[in-house]
Amino acid sequence: MRLDKITIVVDDYDRAIAFFTGALGFELAEDSPSLTNDGRPKRWAVVRPPGAQTGILLAQADVHRQAAAVGNQAGGRVGFFLRVDDFEAARARLLAAGAAFLTEPRDEPYGRVAVFADPWGNKWDLLG
């Protein structure tokens, strides 16, 4: 058993793909035309860290209820945790891409950590 994918609701497929592949260095695993359950067009866009099996399905909001969830996937809490080998390099790449860091880096028993917000406002722990 393994976790295959999680979904993040975004406002625009291309903007989301650019953030995940550019700022985070993820791979675009799939970007295919698809249909919603009721037959409307959408895309099946999956990104994942290099070498990972688990991916993130980027789902563009297409109804009001979904749009309300953009940037609030975890109800204002940190909902995503990205562990990297080189914390400072990853932080510099995120800063250069315009990511908003909400905390200064600090050392915890589980490693170096700083909270950043993705372009939609979802909170992430950057862990090194």
Note the pLDDT tens digit of each residue in 38-92: 898 999 999 999 999 999 999 999 989 999 999 999 999 999 999 999 999 999 9
- pLDDT at site 28: 98
The residues near 20 (Cβ < 8 Å, ≥ 6 apart) are 26, 28, 47, 56, 58
Second CATH level (architecture) for the domain 1-70: Roll (3.10)
Strands 55-60 and 106-108: unpaired
Pull the structure tokens for residue 36: 């919603």
Residues facing residue 59 across a β-bridge: 9
Question: Which residues in the chain are classed under CATH 3.10.180.10?
Answer: 1-70, 76-128
- CATH homologous superfamily of 76-128 equals 2,3-Dihydroxybiphenyl 1,2-Dioxygenase, domain 1 (3.10.180.10)
Pull the structure tokens for residue 83: 């562990």
Note the pLDDT tens digit of each residue in 110-120: 999 999 999 99
Residue type, 53: Q
